[in-house]
A = this chain, B = another copy of it.
């Protein structure tokens, strides 16, 4: 059993953010004590962890709420919920691939500036003959560029 302040400490979310998530229907089964204060338990922490995960995949709060609503429907929505996670898996993999492409471009830039620094002049690299660009860097560059 945790107070909202303790949960804020654990999750590194602000207290108003937690209240906001609750308002938005993301924390379906939060209890209240006699004074009307929110009382969180471990299942709520799990829910918050899932919310964090889904936000990372790019879902909006509205979309996360839609999933919570699905959960409340019980056994009837098991297939839908499985499909939901299969979709998220696809999305995450796409995101990872995009980030890997971005990483290639970043590494090309690192090589570019390292070489520029070595020669004390950016123009040296900028005007470099394509044949003189190391294959790895060329690959990085191309990868970062296409698609």
Spell out A's residues near B (CB within 8 Å).
Answer: 46, 49-50, 53, 56-57, 74-75, 78-79, 81-82, 85-86, 88-89, 92-93, 95-96, 98-103, 105-107, 109-110, 113-114, 116-117, 120-122, 144-145
Interface CB pairs A-B, < 8 A, 24: A46-B145, A49-B105, A49-B145, A50-B105, A50-B109, A53-B101, A53-B102, A56-B98, A56-B99, A56-B102, A57-B102, A75-B120, A78-B113, A78-B122, A82-B113, A85-B113, A88-B106, A89-B103, A89-B107, A89-B110, A92-B102, A92-B106, A96-B96, A96-B99
Determine the residue in chain B with the shortest Cβ distance to A113: B82
